[in-house]
Amino acid sequence: MTEDDVEKSTEYDVVVIGAGPVGENVADRTRAAGLSTAVIEAELIGGECSYWACMPSKALLRPIVARADARRVPGLSAAVQGPLDADAVLAHRDETAAHWKDDGQLAWLESVGADVYRGTGRLTGTRQVSVTAPDGSVRHLTARHAVAVCTGSRAVVPDLPGVEDVRPWTSREATSAKEVPGRLVVVGGGVVGVEMATVWQGLGAQVTMLIRGERLLPKMEPFAGELVAASLAEAGVRIMTGVSATEVRRAGHDGPVTVALDSGESLETDEILFATGRAPRTDDLGTGSVGIEPGSWLTVDDSCRVRGSDWLYAVGDVNHRALLTHQGKYQARIAGAAIAARAQETPLLETDRWGAHAATADHSAVPQVVFTDPEAASVGLTLAEAEAAGHRVRAVDYDLASVAGSGLYAAGYTGRARMVVDLDRGILLGTTFVGPGIGELLHSATVAVAGEVPIERLWHAVPAYPTISEIWLRLLETFRG
């Protein structure tokens, strides 16, 4: 270390690498506990969710879903048959993403008393972090108590011939594109794939989906993917299952893309989106300096502390427990509380009345909403997962169209609900809803699953009539027979 480097060394109680929602929440909790905290960010403060994922994607989806809902309401449907104003939708998306400027997020982070460093953070040893600023200067930070890695994940693009020259879309390009492509091929049938197919078809693109497996949303109950696929197909999306892209080529700089398939067919498109998974942002993190393989997911305990370490934490996507913003923020609250307790030498077990230091929801009560038309929402285990885990279970299904509230919500309502009951313990292990407007139902299911509420007590949680939430009564009646 040079004399100049020594002058640029600074000590904090906690150093947070990554200023997305997860890093912001860790910093908020550690500052609230009185710990000095530095936060390092190489891109925009607010992270993936604010600028390229949750917020812009939902801003794009909302007009498509609202129009679909309105078209199912008698007396209103005739007024909403025309196309959406794509320019207005994209402009609203830009506003939601703060035009990709982070002034507001920076002001909030500074308001909690955290010091913000712009640049790339890297581990350089035990409790040691370097920050390389955009101008190339380097500052060295020391953490007295903890370093929290909150660097998230990145989209994975398969290594296909021609892929670099094609300049494919990932989730980032799909949520920030400035105009509607004439044709779009979406590779992948998970959450990003189905949501972006919904968006761009709804805004006027001709969309084709390439699915390696046989169904959409493979991590949810089978009927979720089936109902979403039927709706997408009805809207005009072409869904090809059991196929994979083998090669991609773009004609010229901005010409069409030719996609070769393993079936021997080929497709021509204007843009291609790869929604084929995520990888941790740990390639350039310096993990090798602390004995961890670069590019790997970081394995943690329930307090989000990296296994084998007493100072390194990994929070959010980077630990691969649940790649969802709300779960990452939940983990951040846990990790921040655990860091503070350990810094103050407070035994965690004696201060853990509220479960403040253990991310138990990551194991059994992870909620997720897919904002397609229809929406798909789930929490806990699917039937297949519960059976594979050795539970003695029963799945209870009910047609959401048979609930009085759904008929009032929309004419021709189509949907389905399932709860997975642990027969030995008399509690819910998982719940799935698919249908228009069911995203707001999910928290009631999350409370039931996370709280392990006995089925016999749920019977006394009376749903209001006539709402879609009356599905709870119908599921319980079906279970009791």
Q: Where are the domains of the chain?
A: 3-46+102-154+280-361, 163-276, 374-480
> From CA 189, how far away is CA 201, in angstroms rounded?
15
Q: What is the pTM of this model?
A: 0.94
Residue 106: HSE in the Cβ half-sphere, 13 Å Cα cutoff: 13
Side chain identity, residue 437: G
CATH number of the domain at 374-480, please? 3.30.390.30
Per-residue pLDDT, 7: 45
Nearest residue to 468 via CA among 397, 417, 395 = 417
Pick the CATH number of 3-46+102-154+280-361 from 3.10.20.440, 3.40.50.2300, 3.40.50.720, 3.50.50.60: 3.50.50.60
| CB-CB contact of 203 with 84 (8 Å) | yes
**Furthest C-alpha separation in the chain:** 78
Per-residue pLDDT, 100: 98
> From CA 122, how far away is CA 149, in angstroms rounded?
10
From its phi and psi, is residue 56 left (phi > 0), alpha (psi between -120 and 50) or beta? alpha
Side chain identity, residue 297: W
Side chain identity, residue 255: G
> From CA 263, how far away is CA 240, in angstroms rounded?
11
> From CA 272, how far away is CA 251, in angstroms rounded?
13
| CB-CB contact of 123 with 285 (8 Å) | yes
Question: What does each of the 481 residues of the chain score in pLDDT, given as a tens digit?
Answer: 344 544 456 999 999 999 999 999 999 999 999 999 999 999 999 999 999 999 999 999 999 999 999 999 999 999 999 999 999 999 999 999 999 999 999 999 999 999 999 999 999 999 999 999 999 999 999 999 999 999 999 999 999 999 999 999 999 999 999 999 999 999 999 999 999 999 999 999 999 999 999 999 999 999 999 999 999 999 999 999 999 999 999 999 899 999 999 999 999 999 999 999 999 999 999 999 999 999 999 999 999 999 999 999 999 999 999 999 999 999 999 999 999 999 988 776 545 555 678 899 999 899 999 999 999 999 999 999 999 999 999 999 999 999 999 999 999 999 999 999 999 999 999 999 999 999 999 999 999 999 999 999 999 999 999 999 999 999 999 999 8
Side chain identity, residue 191: V
**Residue 473 φ/ψ, nearest 5 degrees:** -60, -45
Sign of the dihedral defined by the CA atoms of residues 71, 73, 79, 85, in that order? negative
> From CA 18, how far away is CA 141, in angstroms rounded?
14
> From CA 90, how far away is CA 200, in angstroms rounded?
11
| CB-CB contact of 379 with 366 (8 Å) | yes
| CB-CB contact of 211 with 185 (8 Å) | no
Compute how many other C-beta atoms are within 10 angstroms of the C-beta atom of residue 128. 18
- Token pair, residue 24, equals 């912001």
Fold of 163-276: FAD/NAD(P)-binding domain (3.50.50)
Sign of the dihedral defined by the CA atoms of residues 422, 372, 185, 43, in that order? negative
Return the percent helix, strand and coil in the chain, to nearest 5. 40, 25, 35
Side chain identity, residue 424: D
Same fold, 3-46+102-154+280-361 and 163-276: yes
